[in-house]
Structure 1
Amino acid sequence: MKILAADDHQLIVDDLLYSIKQLMPDAECTGTSDPDLIIPLFKKHRFDVVFLDIEMDDVNGIALAQKLQKIAPRTNIIYITGYEKYALESYKTYASGFLVKPIDEDMLKDALDHLRFPVSNITDDMLIRQSQGEAVIGRKIQKYREERGLTRNEFAEMLGCVMPTIQRWESGTRVPDVTMLMHIAKVLGVGVEDLIG
């Protein structure tokens, strides 16, 4: 998940980023206290969630959110402000949340748990590793096969496939389909979640 924290006070940005990383260590977090950088950063990174102060120097956060949503309509905007009076106005942008400063961890967790547009926890890095042969599934298939003392030929015979197929799975150049994954799990005596977790 890609997250941007924007507030005109750097200390608030730093505190917010720290709290987010405590809750979501795998999130890619960026922060800025310069309102002029928000749109360029957003265009470059296409954040899934934007924490946005409503009152920044000469910038209205609600108007800024509308600009961000024109670029990417499914952006989760979570407003942060010291003024509750903006709550009703902020929902005109169909915000995912409205947090009043100071923001505590429970409020933050609740906002991230109830995003208007849920975000997958599959990262670009996971996809890259999969396509570069560093596949988790292949390593686990090999691990469980070796633990059971099966050669690739024996394993292929039990699955009704050929040995080069086993080699491709274990090297990560190919991934078994769902039906075959269930068959592999059965033969190895493990759950499918053990292979893909």
Structure 2
Amino acid sequence: MKVAIIDDEPYSREEMKHLLSTYEWVEVIGEASSAEKAMELLLTDDPQVLFLDIEMPGMSGVELAEALRKMKKRPQIVFATAYPDYALKAFEVEAVDYLLKPFDEEQLARTMERLKKTVAGENADGRESRSQGKLAVQDEDKIIFIEPEAILYIFREERETYICTGKKRYTCRLPIKELEAKLVTYPFFRVHKSYLVQLPFVEELIPWGNGVYQLKVSGAKEKIPVSRNYVKELRERLEL
């Protein structure tokens, strides 16, 4: 998820960047200190989400949000402000959420879940055209193209990324973070900083001590490590 932070206070921008850095599926692609500079950033970097302050010199955050409603493809808006009085106006301009400074991590976590679903829904609108594409992988001395649906899991080891299907293991030049972004319309889930798993192939979640688990994936001999930070969300995604 490509995010930009718009706030005239450098400290607030740094705090939000720090909080967002804990989400591996989020990339802060830019920041701006005013609504006017934000417009330039929108044209050059095309963020999917804006974390937007309200009280800024010149154009306010609400005025910027109103202007963005005229765009055919506009970013999602999360207001991040010290002022509670604009909440009603924020939702009139269809903001996803309204965060008050100082930021509460639990509230931010709920906002991020809402954003994940909203942006994934937007991406799914283009699923039909994108799902016709295939993933380029290295197979010995040639490049072949495989269907994303055939991938069991992906992992990174040293400087190589490996794509594992039920038949073979391939190498890929892209880091996991870029692959995760490319495969956003498919049911992949990050279970570890170095592992990405396609959820329909998960068969078992096995305790491994000290809050760590392993996954058994259909068609794979290897067990896949699950970091304790991902266990709760993984169970929520797997269970009815």
User: Which band: TM-score by shorter chain?
Assistant: 0.5 to 0.7
* Residues 1:45 and 2:45 aligned together: yes
> 2:70 corresponds to which residue?
70
SS in 2 for 1:59: coil
Distance in 2 (alpha carbons) for counterparts of 1:91 and 1:173: 47
Shift of 1:102: 0.8
Report % sequence identity: 25
> 1:91 corresponds to which residue?
91
> 2:34 corresponds to which residue?
34
Shift of 1:114: 0.9
Distance in 2 (alpha carbons) for counterparts of 1:17 and 1:181: 32
Distance in 2 (alpha carbons) for counterparts of 1:52 and 1:103: 13
Contact 2:136–2:146 (Cα < 8 Å) also in 1: no
The residue type equivalent to 1:185 in the other structure is G
Match of 2:218 among 157, 176, 191: 191
- Structure number with the bigger relative contact order (C-alpha 8 A, sep ≥ 6) is 1
TM-score after normalising by structure 1: 0.63
> 1:20 corresponds to which residue?
20
Deviation track 1:65-96 (CA, whole Å, cap 9, x = no partner) reads: 12223225452100011111100011111110
Shift of 1:110: 1.1
The residue type equivalent to 1:173 in the other structure is I
Kindly report the root-mean-square deviation, in angstroms, between the aligned alpha carbons of the 2 structures. 3.5
Distance in 2 (alpha carbons) for counterparts of 1:193 and 1:77: 41
Shift of 1:181: 6.9
Shift of 1:36: 2.3
Name whichever structure is richer in helix by fraction.
Answer: 1
> 1:164 corresponds to which residue?
none
Distance in 1 (alpha carbons) for counterparts of 2:93 and 2:101: 20
Contact 1:7–1:56 (Cα < 8 Å) also in 2: yes
SS in 2 for 1:173: strand
SS in 1 for 2:51: strand
Contact 2:79–2:97 (Cα < 8 Å) also in 1: yes
| Structure 1 segments (4+ residues) deviating >4 Å | 192-195
Structure with larger Rg: 1
Contact 2:68–2:74 (Cα < 8 Å) also in 1: no
Distance in 2 (alpha carbons) for counterparts of 1:177 and 1:15: 36
The residue type equivalent to 2:109 in the other structure is K
Match of 1:173 among 133, 140, 144: 144
TM-score after normalising by structure 2: 0.53
Contact 1:6–1:53 (Cα < 8 Å) also in 2: yes
| Aligned pairs, number | 152
User: 1:100-115 counterparts in 2 under 5 A?
Assistant: 100-115=100-115
- For structure 2, list consecutive stretches of 5 or more residues without a partner in the other structure: 124-133, 153-164, 170-216, 225-240
Distance in 2 (alpha carbons) for counterparts of 1:173 and 1:79: 44
> 2:137 corresponds to which residue?
133
Distance in 1 (alpha carbons) for counterparts of 2:82 and 2:148: 51
